[in-house]
Each structure stands twice: as C-alpha cells, then as structure tokens.
Amino acid sequence: MAIIYTPLNINDETELRSAAYIHESTPQNWDPTYKVTDERILFWVDYLKNILTNEKSFVLLAKDESSVVGLHWLKMTEKYGKPCAYIESLWVHEDVRKLGVGSELKRQGEEWAKAQGAKVITTSVHYANKNMIEFNLKKGFEALQVEMIKSLK
C-alpha cells in the first residue's frame, strides 16, 4: 500500500470533512461516551478553512488509494518566550500504525515548524492516551507539566 503525504486542500470538502471528523472524534479514544455531531464537524470545517487561510497553520494528510489514514495538524504560537509550533492533532489509522506513517507525519511537521522559525514543538496528550505518550517520548518529547481539571456540578 502506497501512502502519499499532502497538505490539506481547503477547496476539497471531502478532505476538510475527513480532517474535521478525525479531530472531533479523537476524544472517543479515552471517553467512549463522547458523541460526534454534525454541528461540531461543520464547526471544525469552518475553523480549518479560516486558520489555513489566515494563520500560520499546517495540516498534513497521509492518504492511501481510497482514504485518509493519517493527519498531523500544527499551528504557530509562542511558548516559554520562544516561537513554538503547537500540535493540535496527530492521528494514524490503526490499520497503518507501526508502519512509519506517524513518524513521517511528525518529520514533515517538524520541517514545516523549522521553516516557520519555531524553536520548540509542544503538544497536549490525554493522560489515558498511553500510545501517544510513548510515541512522543520516543520522538524526543519531554513531559513538562500535567493539566488537571475538576468538574463543578
């Protein structure tokens, strides 16, 4: 299976919806009760169109002959007083995990970040997403802080 890597085409509604769905459905990995709605998908479609037109953002897709099998979404920001690329999403379809797709998405994302002047890359990972934590550690990331939340009922 040949995988091609290409930036998200904001003029391709199918690609936009795929990217939006992937991003919106990610919480299902740690919260099986999380519901993806059409309203949220449309929100992310509009959001992606806006940021890819008006901001320093990069969404890279990995595609096989029929569908999106990977996604890497980064945006430029500032963190710790340095230009920073923040990873909004990194996702690889389970059928192609351990085949280098995630590594290639990360590599190309880092190249984009360097070209934008980023000095660091940061991301947030849900504590239950052990695979992503392990993957990031293998790729040279360090854990710096833990975000904590309390529900107010």
Let me know if residue 95 belongs to a domain: yes
Instruction: Give CB contacts under 8 A, 24+ apart, made by 83-86.
Output: 83/116, 83/117, 83/118, 83/119, 84/118, 84/119, 84/120, 84/121, 84/122, 85/109, 85/110, 85/112, 85/113, 85/116, 85/118, 85/120, 85/121, 85/122, 86/121, 86/122, 86/123
Let me know if residue 151 belongs to a domain: no
Separation between Cα atoms, residue 36 and residue 25, nearest integer Å: 6
Let me know if residue 132 belongs to a domain: yes
Predicted pLDDT of residue 28 = 87
Predicted pLDDT of residue 112 = 97
Residue predicted with more confidence, 122 or 7? 7
Mean pLDDT across the stretch 2-22? 95
User: Given 3-state DSSP classes, what are the helix, strand and coil percentages for the chain, each rounded to the nearest 5?
Assistant: 40, 25, 35
Domain count of the fold of the chain? 1
Q: Is the pLDDT assigned to residue 145 strictly greater than 80?
A: no
Q: In what order do the strands lie in the sheet with 82-92?
A: 4-7, 57-63, 68-79, 82-92, 120-123
Whole domain around residue 128: which residue ranges?
4-138
pLDDT in tens, 65-77: 889 999 999 999 9
Let me know if residue 99 belongs to a domain: yes
Domain containing residue 114: CATH number: 3.40.630.30
Let me know if residue 152 belongs to a domain: no
Let me know if residue 56 belongs to a domain: yes
Structure confidence at residue 80 as a pLDDT band (50, 70, 90):
confident
Mean pLDDT across the stretch 110-133? 87
Let me know if residue 146 belongs to a domain: no
Predicted pLDDT of residue 123 = 84
pLDDT in tens, 21-73: 999 998 888 888 999 999 999 999 999 999 998 889 999 999 998 899 999 99
Structure confidence at residue 135 as a pLDDT band (50, 70, 90):
confident
Mean pLDDT across the stretch 98-112? 95
Q: Is the pLDDT assigned to residue 13 strictly greater than 80?
A: yes
Mean pLDDT across the stretch 94-105? 94
